[in-house]
A = this chain, B = another copy of it.
Amino acid sequence: MRQFVVLGHDAPTTPDFALDDLAGAAGRLDVLCRCVNSAFFLSHAIREDVRAHLVLADSFTVTFEGRDLRRLNPDERSTAALIRNALERREDAIGHQPVESSPGVSIRRRGFEATLDALDGTLIHLHEDGTPVVDVEPPADPVFVLSDHHDFTSDETDLLTDRADARVRLGPQALHADHAITVAHNYLDTEGFRSY
User: A residues engaging B (CB < 8 A)?
Assistant: 19-20, 22-23, 30-31, 34, 37-38, 41-44, 73-78, 134, 170-176, 179, 182-183, 185-186, 189-190
CB distance from A35 to the nearest CB of B (A): 12
CB distance from A82 to the nearest CB of B (A): 14
Residues of B within 8 A of A170 (CB): 186
Cα(A43)–Cα(B74), bound, Å: 22
The count of identical subunits is 2
Residues of B within 8 A of A22 (CB): 75, 77
Cα(A76)–Cα(B78), bound, Å: 12
Q: Check B43–A176 contact: CB distance below 8 A.
A: yes
Question: What are 19 A-B pairs with beta-carbon distances under 8 A?
Answer: A22-B77, A23-B73, A30-B76, A30-B77, A34-B37, A38-B179, A41-B176, A42-B173, A42-B174, A42-B176, A43-B174, A43-B175, A43-B176, A74-B176, A75-B76, A134-B190, A172-B189, A182-B183, A183-B186
Could you say which of B41, B77, B78, B179 contacts A41, with CB atoms under 8 Å apart?
A: B179
Which of A20, A77, A172, A186 counts the most chain B CB atoms within 10 A? A186
Cα(A22)–Cα(B78), bound, Å: 10
Residues of B within 8 A of A134 (CB): 190
Q: Check B171–A31 contact: CB distance below 8 A.
A: no
Cα(A34)–Cα(B73), bound, Å: 13
Cα(A190)–Cα(B171), bound, Å: 6
Cα(A73)–Cα(B28), bound, Å: 11
Q: Check B175–A74 contact: CB distance below 8 A.
A: no
Residues of B within 8 A of A78 (CB): 23
CB distance from A77 to the nearest CB of B (A): 7
